[in-house]
Amino acid sequence: MNTSYSYTVSAVDAAGNTSAQSAATAVSTLPDTQTPTVPTNVQAIVTGLNIALSWTASTDNVAVTSYKIYRDGTQVGTATTTSANLTSVPIGTHNYTVVAADAAGNVSAASIAVSVQVYVQGDVNNNGTVDIFDLSQLLTNWGRTGTNSSDVNGDNTVNIFDLSILLSHWTG
């Protein structure tokens, strides 16, 4: 990785006599100029204002050392593994891409973007407001377990905690 080394040589005979050292010879290794491969299969799971991103690892001739995470073209994080959890994501539609980097500073091209929609917590029907329609849907599913849109807090049960979140974001 573009490192310089200096070598000298001396001779030793059968009697153990050692000659003077030769003049130093300098050599350098070649710099790493190969970029990592593009991260693939970027996926996003949205839970309220949080996003869990994951992707398939990139490869490199030396080693991938990190991944840069971009939201709408602006870097919002760095990861050393093939996943990242982003919190307090702004409400709206966002495109996420991932770029791989190696120790020499080489970076891959950006991954294919994954588009996500982040809604206000409690917006059960995802129409941009927390209103009577969301409350009605939550009450219809009250007490049900398993994954459904009325489970606002993600604990797999529609209960008082979901109602509390819905009411705290009420827009009418």
CATH number for 80: 2.60.40.10
Are residue 55 and residue 81 in the same domain, yes or no?
A: yes
- What's the rounded Cα separation, in Å, for the pair 99 and 71? 12
Are residue 135 and residue 164 in the same domain, yes or no?
A: yes
pLDDT value of position 86: 96
Task: Give the residue numbers spanning the domain of 130.
Answer: 120-172
Of 19-28, 66-75, 95-104, 135-144, the one with minimum mean pLDDT is 19-28
- What's the rounded Cα separation, in Å, for the pair 26 and 37? 33
Are residue 128 and residue 160 in the same domain, yes or no?
A: yes
pLDDT band at 125 (very low <50, low <70, confident <90, very high): confident
For residue 3, pLDDT over 70 is answered with yes
CATH number for 146: 1.10.1330.10
pLDDT value of position 121: 79
What's the total number of domains in the chain?
2
pLDDT tens for 60-119 read 998 999 999 999 999 999 999 999 999 989 888 999 999 999 999 999 999 999 999 888
For residue 1, pLDDT over 70 is answered with no
pTM, rounded to two decimals: 0.67
